[in-house]
């Protein structure tokens, strides 16, 4: 009975790691990174091989992606604000394709 409980916990641990690894890959993809680049970033950040990253390391990597994505979002918002404030009214704006 105890050994079956341990094996269920191990399966849950692997399922959690698989889900975290999937989320890390998705976060990297949002930034336009290839899976290889995502793995190299995780390895550089954690000091462990991609395959050896556990839940703690993958959570750390996700936190870094959250920070990076927040910076990108703020920059995009600032740029959009600058563009909007520097645009002439639409009646004056010249169409590119005209």
pLDDT of residue 52: 95
Q: What is the pLDDT along the chain (98 residues), one digit of tens a residue?
A: 555 444 444 556 688 999 999 999 999 998 899 999 999 999 999 999 999 999 999 999 999 999 998 998 999 999 888 776 655 554 444 333 32
Residue of 48, 44, 22, 20 whose CA lies nearest to 35: 22
pLDDT of residue 82: 77
pLDDT of residue 92: 40
pLDDT of residue 8: 43
């Amino acid at each position: 009975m105890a050994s079956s409980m341990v094996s269920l916990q191990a399966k849950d641990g692997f399922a959690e790691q698989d889900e975290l690894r999937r989320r890390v890959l998705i976060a990297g993809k949002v930034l336009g990174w290839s899976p290889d680049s995502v793995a190299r970033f995780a390895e550089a950040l954690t000091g462990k091989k991609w395959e050896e990253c556990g839940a703690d390391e993958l959570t750390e990597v996700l936190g870094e992606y959250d920070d990076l994505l927040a910076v990108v979002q703020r920059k995009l918002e600032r740029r959009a604000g600058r563009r909007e404030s520097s645009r002439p009214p639409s009646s004056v704006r010249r169409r590119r394709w005209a």
